[in-house]
Structure 1
Amino acid sequence: MNSLREEFFQVNAILLAFIFFIQIYVLNWLGYWFRKKIAQRHPDKDVSLGTAEGALMGLMALLLAFTFGMTSTKYESRRQTIIDEANLLNTGLLRCKLFPDSIKKTLLPDYKNYLESRIAYYDARDNPDKINKALEDGRKYFNSMWNDNALLIKDPNNKSLADQLVPALISLRNIAITREAGRVAAVPTLILVALLILVFVASFLTGYGLKPGSRNPVFSLAFAIMLSIALYLVMELGRPRQGSINLDNAEREIVNLRKNL
């Protein structure tokens, strides 16, 4: 299921929205056609849905709103985490620059490599292999910085500066873990599948609920467009590393730290 989801997230969201639009419109037409055939065979039989159609549409709207709210909340949380990491990276860099030049020659290259690994982490987009490599590089460079600082703590001349760097390094490690946890904490696949099923069933029943001769193609087209746009926004918010709704502006705060090295 996870591999299928990863492949799904590699597909362009606009293309998926267009596919959903076609499916919604066709299902709406099929529902109307099916109702028309039943009415022709049983002209005296009431085949209307009654309140069932409204109940199903309400359920679909509820799940759609719930999913949209979940994805938008996760998007904002991811954006804020990137800003927090940029602040922590800047704090750690400033504290590293307080050391004497002889120590900075050893400490700053590792810090620069760590910064580059965090930039590569975002640049990997949704490629799992590149993400794992960036995470592994980040752990390697962090461990090197931590070990160097552990030696500096034992030096009376640099102990006070090294002590100040410890909480900054710990915070950097914690924020990296938080950011990765936020990346993988996507909307559960089961909810997305349930939403798509409800959308498709509602599309069919919306067409089925129309009496023969009362179908308005403009309404059906507008219905398909609105639902496709809603699904498109859900997909875009759920994949903030690519597409038009992304986190590039927030990530730029980390990239700009290169100028300070």
Structure 2
Amino acid sequence: MPRVTDYPLAVFGLSFLLLLISVWTGALLFRRWWPPKDSTRDDFGVIQAATLTLLGLIIAFSFSMAVSRYDQRKTLEEAEANAIGTEFLRADLLPGPDAAKVRALLADYFDQRVLYYTTRDEQELKTINARTARLQAELWAAVAAPAAATPSPTTALVAMGMNDVLNAQGYTQAAWWNRIPSAAWILMLTIGICCHVLVGYGVKDPKEERALLLVLPLVMSIAFMLIADIDSPRSGAILVKPVNLLSIAESVRPR
């Protein structure tokens, strides 16, 4: 099911609106209801600094989570391409008709895996997953039959390679499902709202400093958008491109 964080621009707009409302709430409403006192100014500064520090740590932690997941998706794309390319070569160890069948199926499988990485349409993704599952069943049957008919180290090697191909797809799918938890987003946004209320409350003259009150919501919204962009596998500008799959596909197709 799509989430708001699947759309980085929506994350930017929503977070900027909420944070802007928060900072002006602190600047106008809270200062009117509970005017700050000089005797509590130092304590307020400590609380404000501690809250902003906590927000910075949570943003840094969330950014680290998003980057690690992005790197994992890139690594698994490379591993999947290597597994399919290796199995394409190992197909030569099978008898002629079986080898040709496996290579033809792997060529179609290459196409489906490339589409998996490049599509952004959810309905098309369902079709791709269905075709991938069908091709996986056909690929396994294509290597299982000769392995069962003439058991040997050679056919076992081909079967093991096909097992690596199927496992690589499963690892990739799991990595694309591994996202920043919704609870982490809620926590980050909640602390961000609290920080902006405190920042607005600490401003001496909101009317004279209204331009400054736009800076922090803007910067934080950009940070949220960047985290959402990196964390989302199919949205935004920072995506995992199947460069290894395309490279290996070009090298094996002439065969």
Give the aligned partner of residue 27 of structure 2. Answer: 32
Q: Is this contact kept in 1: 2:23–2:199, CA < 8 A?
A: yes
Residues 189/44 of structure 1: CA separation in 2 closer, same or farther (3 Å cut): closer
- Pick one of 109, 128, 137 that aligns with 1:114: 109
Give the aligned partner of residue 83 of structure 1. Answer: 78
Query: Deviation string for 1:60-114 (max 9, x for gaps)?
Result: 1121111111111111111111111111111111112444543333222222222
Separation in 2 of the partners of 1:51 and 1:214? 24
1:241 aligns with 2:223: no
Q: CA deviation at 1:218?
A: 3.9
Give the aligned partner of residue 163 of structure 1. Answer: 156
Q: Is this contact kept in 2: 1:28–1:220, CA < 8 A?
A: yes
Separation in 2 of the partners of 1:163 and 1:87? 19
Moved more, 44-53 or 30-39: 44-53
Separation in 1 of the partners of 2:141 and 2:31? 76
Separation in 1 of the partners of 2:108 and 2:237? 29
Q: How does 1:143-222 map to 2 (within 5 A)?
A: 143-156=137-150, 159-212=152-205, 216-222=209-215
Separation in 2 of the partners of 1:188 and 1:16? 15
Residues 10/230 of structure 1: CA separation in 2 closer, same or farther (3 Å cut): closer
Separation in 1 of the partners of 2:36 and 2:112? 70
Gaps of 5+ in 2: none
Separation in 1 of the partners of 2:37 and 2:56? 33
SS of structure 2 residue aligned to 1:211 = coil
Give the aligned partner of residue 48 of structure 2. Answer: 53
Give the aligned partner of residue 254 of structure 1. Answer: 245
Residues 22/154 of structure 1: CA separation in 2 closer, same or farther (3 Å cut): closer
Q: CA deviation at 1:155?
A: 4.9
SS of structure 2 residue aligned to 1:217 = coil
Separation in 2 of the partners of 1:91 and 1:215? 67
Query: Deviation string for 1:175-199 (max 9, x for gaps)?
Result: 1111111111111111111111111
SS of structure 2 residue aligned to 1:20 = helix
Query: Deviation string for 1:194-224 (max 9, x for gaps)?
Result: 1111112211111112224696334322212
TM-score by length of 2: 0.85
1:228 aligns with 2:224: no
The alignment's C-alpha RMSD in Å is: 2.6
Identity %: 19
Q: Is this contact kept in 1: 2:117–2:240, CA < 8 A?
A: no
Separation in 1 of the partners of 2:95 and 2:147? 14
Give the aligned partner of residue 88 of structure 2. Answer: 93
SS of structure 2 residue aligned to 1:80 = helix
SS of structure 1 residue aligned to 2:116 = helix
Q: Is this contact kept in 1: 2:28–2:206, CA < 8 A?
A: no
TM-score by length of 1: 0.84
Separation in 1 of the partners of 2:36 and 2:70? 52
Gaps of 5+ in 1: none
Separation in 1 of the partners of 2:53 and 2:153? 62
Q: Is this contact kept in 2: 1:75–1:237, CA < 8 A?
A: yes
Residues 85/164 of structure 1: CA separation in 2 closer, same or farther (3 Å cut): same
Runs of 4+ in 1 over 6 A off after TM superposition: none
